Amino acid sequence: MTPDPLYYLSNFKEAIAWVVERNRDLLNAQELAFTQEFMALPVPAQALLVRLVMRRGDLFRRSRINYPEIGGLDSALAPLLGLRWIDPDPGVSFDEFFRLSTRKELAKAFPTLRSRAAKWKAYEQLSVRHNEVATFGQWMATDEPVYRVRTASMATRFRLLFFGNFHQEWSEFVLARRISRGGSECSWRSAYGSGDSKAGANRCSIAKAPT
């Protein structure tokens, strides 16, 4: 059987549906609207958003967004830009610019930087002099877009309600489901905290299937 290239999207939708079904009263109007608008998006836009919220941080260079299963990036981006879920030209702090850039790019952007300084040394030299916010293009004189995912905190909220903690990542759900298909068994259960809290705490236990 051919693996589904959009398995991560199916898993994300399942998690969102689980949260809405069991914890609707914990969701505000904006969060409920997000679920409805997300489900109404074209599949490529859904897949792109999920790919990005599963990555670390909320800023992404266009050159580092490459998902063949999604298809054309511009087509997938368009609905997300229309909803303003992605900012196509965000303000970027120096720390953010530093994380997005290579050592070679930093040397090009700041010619006074010592040519052989390690990247962490470059940060020490530059960070004390730069506390401004600018676009990525202004920092580095480039036309390459950088995108900020404005729904990242929303996805974190749903992840908290699904797992019941902050230390588990979406990738753990994806990994568990994929291992399940590979011969192990993954069981999900809902565990509720004490008191009046209904925040779901999903626990995935992965055990070898009986041989």
pLDDT in tens, 164-198: 888 888 777 655 555 444 443 343 333 333 233 34
In the chain, % of residues over pLDDT 70: 79
Per-residue pLDDT averaged across 35-41, rounded? 97
Backbone phi and psi for residue 60, each to the nearest 5 degrees, phi listed first: -140, 130
Q: 211: pLDDT confidence band, cut at 50, 70 and 90?
A: very low
Closest by Cα among 90, 128, 121, 79 to 103: 121
Say which residues have a Cβ less than 8 Å from residue 17's Cβ, sequence separation at least 6: none
Asked if the model's pLDDT at residue 153 lies above 60, the reply is yes
Q: pLDDT for 101-150, tens place per residue?
A: 988 888 888 887 766 678 878 888 888 889 899 999 999 989 999 999 99
Cβ(200)–Cβ(157) below 8 Å: no
Closest by Cα among 123, 57, 61 to 95: 123
H or E segment and range at residue 57: none
Cβ(133)–Cβ(92) below 8 Å: yes
Residue 114 CB-density burial (10 A; 0-12 exposed, 13-18 middle, 19+ buried): exposed
Distance CA 55, CA 70 (A): 16
Per-residue pLDDT averaged across 30-47, rounded? 97
Q: 38: pLDDT confidence band, cut at 50, 70 and 90?
A: very high
What would you measure as the largest C-alpha separation in the chain, in angstroms?
Answer: 64
Backbone phi and psi for residue 194, each to the nearest 5 degrees, phi listed first: -80, 170
Q: pLDDT for 64-115, tens place per residue?
A: 999 999 999 999 999 999 999 999 999 999 999 999 998 888 888 888 776 6
Asked if the model's pLDDT at residue 206 lies above 70, the reply is no
Distance CA 121, CA 137 (A): 23
Say which residues have a Cβ less than 8 Å from residue 81's Cβ, sequence separation at least 6: 88
Answer with the residue of higher pLDDT: 2 or 178: 2
Closest by Cα among 33, 177, 44 to 52: 44
Cβ(23)–Cβ(200) below 8 Å: yes
Q: What per-residue confidence (pLDDT) applies to 61?
A: 97
Distance CA 88, CA 90 (A): 6
Closest by Cα among 166, 92, 96 to 133: 92
Asked if the model's pLDDT at residue 19 lies above 60, the reply is yes
**Which pTM was predicted?**
0.80
